[in-house]
Structure 1
Amino acid sequence: MQRKINPLLLVFSLLGAGVAFLIGELLLSRWLGDMPSILLVGIYFAIVALVVGVGCLLAEMISPTLNGYSWKQRYLSLSWKLLPLTVVLLFGVGAVTEFVYELNFGGVKPVKDVVMVIDDSGSMMQSDPNNSRYSAAQSLVMQMDEDNQAAVLTFSDDTQVVQPLISLSKPSNRDKVSAAIGNLQTTEGGTNISGALNEALNVINGDGQTARGAMVIMLSDGASQFDTTRELQSYVDRGIAVNTIGLGMQDPAGSALLQDIANATGGQYYDVTDAGRLGSVFQQIYDRLGDRTLLTDRSDATKDSPYYAVVRILALLLIGAALGLGLGIVFDNRHLAKSFGIGGAVSGLFAGLILEFGLSSHSFLNGLIRLIALLVLAAILSLFTGIVPVGEGRLYRGSRRNTEVPATAKDSFPVPRRNRGSKGF
C-alpha cells in the first residue's frame, strides 16, 4: 500500500474532462428544453464517465503507476469490458439526483400559468408603431408547453381581459389565443398599472387551481401612481413573480417603477429600446421558467432557496463518488475504488459549490463555470491517490488460489517420543 500519483493519469483525466465539456455543451445547446431534464442530465454525466474513464485507462495502459504491471498484463482487456458499467452507473446516479432536484420542496409550486399584461395606451403609437408587442405575444403562445395555461390582458385607463386562462394542450386553444391577440389595436388613454395588476391577480385567482404556480409578464412604456408595498402584497404572499418590460422608456420614474415591481415580486426587469427585440425578450422570460437542472442556474421561485442549494451540492458529491467508484470497478481494484471514491466525493463537493455559487443568467459564463467544475472534479479525483494509499487488490477473482501449506520436515519425519517413565539413559 503506497501513496502515489500518476501524472499522466492527471493529464489525461483533465483532457477527458475538457472533451466531455465540449460534448456536453453541444448536448445542452441542442436538447435543453426539448429533452426531459432527467434524461439529459443522465446522458451528460454518462459522457463524463465515458471520456474521463477512457483517459484514465489510456494513462494507466501507457504508465501503470497505480495499478501495477500485473494489471496491464493480465486484466487490461477486462478493464475495457468493465468501462460500460461505469457509464451506466453515472447515467443512473445523474438521472436519479436530477429527479430529486426537480421535486418541489418547501411548498414551491411549478409555474404553469403565464399571464401577459400588455400596455395599449396612446403612447404606444410612438413606442411600438408596428405593434411588435402583439407579434411577440403570439410567438410566445405558440412556443409554450402543452401543460401551460395562458391569459392575455391589455390596459390603458381601464383593463380588458382579452383571454382568460386557457389550457394550451389543444392546438385549437393556441389558435384561439393567437387570434385574440391578433385582433388587438392601440387605444387612447393613460397607463393604469395598478388596475392592470389587480385584474391580472383576479384572473389568476379565478382559475381556482391553487396548486399551480403563476407568472405575470407586464409590458409598458409609461408610469403611474402605484404603492408597491401595499398593492403587491398579494403577489408576494402567493409567490407570483411579475416580470416587467420597459419599452422605449422616456420617463425615469416609469423605469424605476417597473424595476421595483419586478424586485418586490421576485421577477426581473428588462429595458428594451427596440420594439423588434420584444420577441426574444418574451422568449427569454419564458425560458427562465424552464425545469430546474443540476447544470443550469435556478431562475424561478427557488433561485435563492437553501433547500435546492444543498440538494445540488449533495447531488454533485454523489455523482463524484460514483465516478470514483466506477473507475475503481474499471481497474478491478478495491483499493483504487476506495481512493477514487473518497476523492470523487471531495471533488464532487467542490464541483457542486462551484455550480451553485457560480451559475448565473449569462450563458457564456455558465459554460465557463461548468468547465471549471468538470476540471476540478477530474483533478482532485486523480490526485487523491496521493492521500489515500493504493495497492494491488482485485475486485473480481477468476479462481481461488491453492492456499494449502506444504508439509514441514517435522511433519514428514516425526521425532520419537521420550519415555516419561525412564530415568537417566
Structure 2
Amino acid sequence: MSFLKSCTLFIAVIAFTALFSGCGKGEPIENADQYISTVDLMDIPDDVEVIGLGEATHGNIEFQELKKQVFETLIKKENVRVFILEGDFGGGQQINNYIVNGEGTAEAVVNSLDYSIYKTKQMMDLVQWMHDYNESVKEDEKIRFYGNDMQRYDFSKKELFAYYAGVNKEVANKYAEQLNHVSNETMRELTTEKLEKVDDTVDDIIGDLQSNKAEYLEKSSPEDFAFATAYAQNMKQRAQLFLNEENYTHLRDQYLAENLQWIIEYEKKRGNDKVFFTGHNGHVEKTSASAAGYKSMGNYLDEIYGTKYFAIGTDFINSEFQAKSDDSGSRKVFTVENHNELVDAFSGVEENIFYVDFEMSRESAELETILSSEQKMANIGDDFRSWYKLLKMFYTIEMVPDQAYDSIIIVKNATPTKMFELN
C-alpha cells in the first residue's frame, strides 16, 4: 500500500471514530429534580468509615472547590476530621503543621506539595480555611491534613533526618551523607545502579528504626517515631517507582492504598474513625476500569473495607479546563463536551452543580437501567492534547456507574483553574 493511501486510510479511520465517539448521548428524564440534592444535604450511610471524592479533571475550579464543600459537609454531618489529598506525604505534613500549629503560610505550604495542579487560588483558599477553622475549635475537634502520594521525595527526607537528629545524630549524619545527592530533581537522572543504592540505604534506615525502636522512643514520642517510619517508607516507595517504571501506574495505586490505610489506622488510634480523601476519578473508582489496566486504589479499598468505603465520582457535560499541553510542561486551556446517558438524564436540571444519590435514583426504572449499564464517564488527567477530543477513549473511562461509585456529583458547565507561581 502506498504512503498516500496509508495516510488517507488512517485519516478516514480517525474521522469515522471521531464521528461516533460522541455516541451514547441520552435524553433528560422527567422529574430529575427529585433524585438530586445540594452537596451540603448529601447523606452518607452511618457505617461508612472511608469517603472518597473523585475529580473528573485536575484543571477545573468546580472540582477543586468541591473538596472544601464536601469536606465541610462531612465535618458537620459525619464528624469527619481527617482530610487526605492525592498529594505528597511529606509535603502534606507541611500543610498539617500550618493548619494545626500555625507554622508557615498557606502559600508556602501549598507550594511544598510540588504539584502544579494545586498551585491555584482554590487550593490556597482550602488550606487557609482549614487553618482558620482550627483556630475556632477545641484541640480535639481540629482537622488533620495528609497526602497519600509518594511521587516526591524532599520533604519526607527532610522530616526523617530532622527526627534522626534528635534520637541518633551519628546515624543521622551517616545516612544523610549517603542520600545527600538524592532529591526530587536528581532522582530522575540517577542510574539504575545508583537508585538501587538509594533503595538499599532506605532499607537500612527502616531496619535501624525497627531495631532501635525502644531506644528511640525514649528520646521521642510515639507519634514522631510513627511518622519517621512513614517518611522512610514513602522514600522507599519513590525509589521503587523509578526502579519499576514499566509497572509505575500499578505500583503507584498500590502504594496510594497502602499509605491511605496507614493514615486510617493511625487516625483510629487518635479517635478519628472516619476519613475523607480526594483524588482523580481513576484512583477513587472501585472497578479498575481504566484502559491502562492497573488496579485502582479504590479497588483495593473496596476489597479491604467493603461497604465501609463510599466512593463519590464526578462528571461534567461541558468543561473548559487547563492541563499540560506538551512535554515542556506548558499549560493550555482545552474545551471538551461530554455526553453519556447518566449526565444527560440530568441535563434538564437548572442547578449547575448537584449531588446524585444512587440509592435514591434506583427508585426510577430509567435511572436504574442507566446506573447498571456501561457509560463513558469523564476522566482527564494533567496531560492533554487537542487531538484527544477526536477519540472519546482519551478523555473518558467506560464503567458501570453503580459498580464504580456509590453516588456522583455532576457539574454541567465547568470552568478552568489558573496556575500561578508561588514564592
Q: What's the TM-score bracket when you normalise by the shorter of the two chains? A: under 0.3
Flag the structure with higher strand content. Answer: 2
TM-score (norm 1): 0.25
Greater Rg over alpha carbons, structure: 1
Q: Larger relative contact order (C-alpha < 8 A, sep ≥ 6)?
A: 2
- TM-score, scaled relative to structure 2: 0.25
